Amino acid sequence: MAVSQERISVHSLADLKNTTDDALPTYLNSLGFKQSHTLTDTRLALGYSAFAICSATFYWDYKFGFENTKQYTTIAVIIYTILNSILTFWIWGVEKGTVYIGTSKTTGEKIQIQSKTEKHVPKYCLTVTTTDKNGRKKRKIVKKEFKDWFDAKGHFHTKPFQRMLAGSVDAIGRADPKNAVKEGEKEKVVVEDKRSMDEKWASLLAESAGVEENGASTATPSKGGKKRGKKA
Amino acid sequence: MLSTLQNPRQAAAQLLNFGLILSTAFMMWKGLSVLADSPSPIVVVLSGSMEPAFQRGDLLFLWNRNFFEETKVGEIVVYNVKGKDIPIVHRLVRKFGVGDDAKLLTKGDNNVADDTELYARGQDYIERKDIIGSVVAYIPFVGYVTILLSEHPWLKTVMLGIMGLVVVLQRE
């Protein structure tokens, strides 16, 4: 099972989201989706034109002084403001957190995935819009906890993440039937027993001492214990 | 985290974020300059020559347009002297004539003598074009940071470094 070498801080929601966002395209592209970069490229083009205008302004201001270049600076400021407003609109109104747009090479389905997180809630919220060949749109909201594919140490687990996507989005499930396990069944496979021998002993002892445990979680007082304990 | 830089689009986007922060700050400054028609619409008081009106470190906002009336005696103006690169904040105390050719004399409230000593050699007065703005508003003390930064240049390097690191490492 693929586990990332890198570790992130599980306490940083931004890290959790970014790592997951980055893993999404890799997975979908491997399934034969063709990624479209139009949104990102437009954003980059807007941003870099604005930046170019700013650099030019800086240059002529530095070279020729303020008084001699006043008109140009005025125009540049106006254009910069306009470009920046379009950019802001693009990010908030058009991209809306889009992390992936791709078309399936086999079925011709178009899939758009937007991701977001709410403050202090460790859940990954996806809005998946699929458009089939006839142009029919379907929108689905998927909300999953990050702990399903991050372990307590902050390693990213590819398999449960892929199962989560394939299991909850039909279009992805069709492209990756092996991973398309339906909800309920999934939970069991997701959690790996990564405890060391000592921890297992400790939990066995705890069990015999009458401490109740639920499912795959452990009540060990180790570092990861608290995180896992929450999993019900 | 740095491995994300392997993706060229993401690297470009991250670089852009950094660039846009800098460029937006610069363009806001330029926008204010154009609006106030002054090459430097915000200045920091460096000396105590205008006490008790202004102390060292006060931040002044300048306005350099004469929509309704000419710059008149009693206004606190910021002017440049040929051959000196630091603008001076002093009060306008005398004015002879009208329009752009009016001869102006300035003096610091806390100084004993007027500014003829401060002007360039052989210059007895300043003109409207030497003035880069009249003070219209001020915030006490907040400009002291820039005084610290210019008196201890290494602080600049430290600050830039920290800001750069934060922007590169954080993607929120």
Q: What is the mean pLDDT of residues A185-210?
A: 63
Please say if the pLDDT value at position A217 is more than 50.
no
Whether residues A114 and A2 share a domain: the answer is: yes
ipTM: 0.81
- pLDDT attached to residue A182: 62
- pLDDT attached to residue B151: 87
Residues 6+ apart with CB under 8 A from A78: none
pLDDT one-digit tens code per residue, B70-115: 999 999 999 999 888 889 999 999 999 998 899 999 999 999 999 9
Whether A115 and A97 have beta carbons less than 8 Å apart is answered as: yes
Please say if the pLDDT value at position A1 is more than 60.
no
**Choice between B135 and A193, residue whose per-residue pLDDT is larger:** B135
Query: Nearest CA of chain A to the CA of B51: how many Å?
Result: 30
- pLDDT attached to residue B85: 84
From the DSSP assignment, how many helices (H) and strands (E) are in chain A?
8, 5
A188 in any annotated domain: no
From chain A, the residues in CB contact with B26 under 8 A are: 54, 57-58
Cross-chain residue pair B172–A14, CB shorter than 8 Å: yes
Residue B139: CB atoms within 10 A of its CB come to 12
Nearest CA in chain B to A85: B24
- pLDDT attached to residue B38: 94
A128 in any annotated domain: yes
pLDDT one-digit tens code per residue, A9-63: 999 999 999 999 999 999 999 999 999 999 999 999 999 999 999 999 999 999 9
Provide the pLDDT confidence category of residue A133 given band limits of 50, 70 and 90. Answer: confident
- pLDDT attached to residue B90: 96
From chain B, the residues in CB contact with A76 under 8 A are: 27, 30
Please say if the pLDDT value at position A220 is more than 60.
no
What are residue A138's DSSP bridge partners?
A: A130
Positions of B marked active-site = 49, 90, 115
Please say if the pLDDT value at position B3 is more than 70.
no
Nearest CA in chain B to A15: B171
Whether residues A124 and A12 share a domain: the answer is: yes
Whether residues A112 and A138 share a domain: the answer is: yes
Q: Does B7 touch chain A (CB under 8 A)?
A: yes
* Of A48, A55, A74, Cβ closest to residue B34: A74
Please say if the pLDDT value at position A230 is more than 50.
no
Q: Does B150 touch chain A (CB under 8 A)?
A: no
Whether residues A127 and A164 share a domain: the answer is: yes
pLDDT one-digit tens code per residue, B56-81: 999 999 999 999 889 999 999 999 99
Whether A18 and A6 have beta carbons less than 8 Å apart is answered as: no
Cα separation of A16 and A152, whole Å? Answer: 12
Rounded to 5 degrees, φ, ψ at A79 are: -65, -40
Nearest C-alpha neighbor of B62 from the set B31, B30, B36: B36
A63 in any annotated domain: yes
Query: Which superfamily does B42-141 belong to?
Result: Umud Fragment, subunit A (2.10.109.10)
**Choice between B21 and A208, residue whose per-residue pLDDT is larger:** B21
Cross-chain residue pair A80–B23, CB shorter than 8 Å: yes
- pLDDT attached to residue A183: 54
A93 in any annotated domain: yes
CA distances in angstroms from A177 to A161, A163, A170, A189, B78, listed in the order given? 14, 10, 10, 16, 74
Q: What is the mean pLDDT of residues A136-140?
A: 92
Whether residues A93 and A109 share a domain: the answer is: no
pLDDT one-digit tens code per residue, B14-57: 899 999 999 999 999 999 999 999 999 999 999 999 999 999 99
Whether residues A74 and A52 share a domain: the answer is: yes
Summary mean pLDDT of chain B: 90
From chain B, the residues in CB contact with A20 under 8 A are: none
Residue A166 is part of which domain span? 1-32+105-177
* Domain spans of chain B, in order of start: 1-36, 42-141, 143-172
* pLDDT over 70, % of chain B: 95
- pLDDT attached to residue A149: 93
What are residue B89's DSSP bridge partners?
A: B78
Please say if the pLDDT value at position A77 is more than 80.
yes
Cross-chain residue pair A43–B13, CB shorter than 8 Å: yes
pLDDT one-digit tens code per residue, A167-180: 999 889 888 888 88
Cα separation of A30 and A217, whole Å? Answer: 32
Provide the pLDDT confidence category of residue A226 given band limits of 50, 70 and 90. Answer: very low
Cα separation of B27 and B19, whole Å? Answer: 12
Whether A163 and A177 have beta carbons less than 8 Å apart is answered as: no
Cross-chain residue pair A67–B39, CB shorter than 8 Å: yes
Nearest CA in chain A to B11: A44
A163 in any annotated domain: yes
Q: Does B4 touch chain A (CB under 8 A)?
A: yes
Write down which residue in A177, A203, A220 finishes a domain.
A177
* Of A8, A15, A51, Cβ closest to residue B20: A51
- pLDDT attached to residue A227: 43
Please say if the pLDDT value at position B1 is more than 90.
no
- pLDDT attached to residue A3: 83
- pLDDT attached to residue B135: 96
Q: What is the largest CA-CA distance in chain A?
A: 85
Distance of CA B61 to the CA centre of its chain: 8
Whether residues A45 and A150 share a domain: the answer is: no
Please say if the pLDDT value at position A95 is more than 70.
yes
Whether residues A16 and A114 share a domain: the answer is: yes
* Of B30, B31, B171, Cβ closest to residue A14: B171
Residues 6+ apart with CB under 8 A from A64: none
pTM over 0.80: no
Write down which residue in A53, A74, A97 finishes a domain.
A97
Whether residues A25 and A111 share a domain: the answer is: yes
- pLDDT attached to residue A186: 47
Residue A60: CB atoms within 10 A of its CB come to 16
Whether residues A171 and A123 share a domain: the answer is: yes
Residue B47 is given by DSSP the state S
Provide the pLDDT confidence category of residue A4 given band limits of 50, 70 and 90. Answer: confident
Q: Does B170 touch chain A (CB under 8 A)?
A: yes
